Chains A and B, each alone.
Chain A
């Protein structure tokens, strides 16, 4: 799958490429909120006023991509929670008004597939339309779906809009905080990895890719990806090695490693095991930029494409390679769901 175009709204200024050009936001917050562009010229007011943040960000990323590329043959998104804020409002209304008259907007906006549906409506796209809600592997599932789609069309050019979105809602933040996923103390994202405590900081964002099975003029390629749940810590090294073996690569072939290390002392050791396999390799800790959320691997993929094209090189730690050719992303959520994504230029 070849990446022809991409766009992201994230806690960094990715929407105007400031982030890619070296402007890195230092975040001293418990919540890493997305820096959103003005949507006024993009989304009709009558629709914008109804949109929850997830839908707003998703459409805010989709429409620019659709505006500068041919109409895709399908739209595939991944999201763990979709418009959770609207969902909780709707559920609370059911209780508050004793299952009586309920407002349609919160319900319409809160379903996870509201985004893909609205993008299709706004762009008059009647092609394949799918939303994957596989928790912290939702983006990986969207990638898998896209790959299977392209497999059906050898020799015939097809294009897909593929991406992910996640919003922070008070509800899910508080639940996750009680589950010790997020830190109680405040540490700057500069020092995130040395915080020495449990949990991380909550992020959000939307990232999308315009994918094609035609390699012409592509920015990079999703070469391979693999996911697994319930590995044990002593199996993670073998998981990575077997993935590389399947691609007929060894660790030396990887120019840069993107790791989802998030400053949580209870689960960062998994990343350290993978780092040991690639000792001395250039690496990027992408959650220092955007925090932790369930579809953050989409942002990691976005960053990988930027790196492969010579952008955002300032983020590479201990590396001489400013423009790598092969990048491996390893991410896990709660040390339960693990994913590897290999990108090449």
Chain B
């Protein structure tokens, strides 16, 4: 299990690319503080469900509250911070 934050960021981005089929991107292309659901990556509501599945499968985190989800799924930084605080695996 990766505990170093920087390593976790890279690992999360690799999962993000795989789960969301962002195959023309590398982890370096995804900025940590750019909103995932803005124009940069152009993610949509289906992607948000894919992200919830990613967090469940890879880190044992279940997001059930939509309000909570909106605060977590903002950018790479907010998600990785949440993973560090809440991961069960």
Interface residues of A (CB under 8 A from B): 45-46, 49-50, 97, 100-105, 108
Contact = CB atoms under 8 A, between A and B. Distances in A.
A103 B24 CA distance: 21
22 contacts: A45-B24, A45-B42, A46-B44, A49-B20, A49-B21, A49-B22, A49-B23, A50-B21, A50-B46, A101-B53, A101-B56, A101-B57, A101-B62, A103-B19, A103-B49, A103-B50, A104-B46, A104-B49, A104-B50, A105-B21, A105-B46, A108-B46
A100 B20 contact: no
A101 B55 CA distance: 10
Given A45-B42, A49-B21, 4 more contacts: A45-B24, A46-B43, A100-B56, A101-B53
A103 B50 CA distance: 6
Contacts of B46: 50, 104-105, 108
Given A46-B42, A46-B44, A97-B57, A105 B50 contact: yes
B52 interface: yes
Interface residues of B, number: 17
Contacts of A105: 21, 46, 50
Residue from B42, B50, B52, B57 with most neighbouring chain A CB atoms (10 Å)? B57
Nearest to B56: A101
A101 B60 CA distance: 11
B26 to A, nearest CB: 15
A108 B19 CA distance: 15
Contacts of B19: 103
Contacts of A102: 53
A46 B57 CA distance: 23
Interface in B1-45: 19-24, 42-44
A49 B44 CA distance: 12
A108 B46 CA distance: 10
B60 to A, nearest CB: 11
A340 to B, nearest CB: 42
A103 B22 contact: no
A46 B50 CA distance: 14
Nearest to A50: B21
Nearest to A102: B53
Contacts of A101: 52-53, 56-57, 62
A101 B24 CA distance: 26
A149 B24 CA distance: 43
A97 B62 CA distance: 14
A47 to B, nearest CB: 9
A45 B43 CA distance: 10
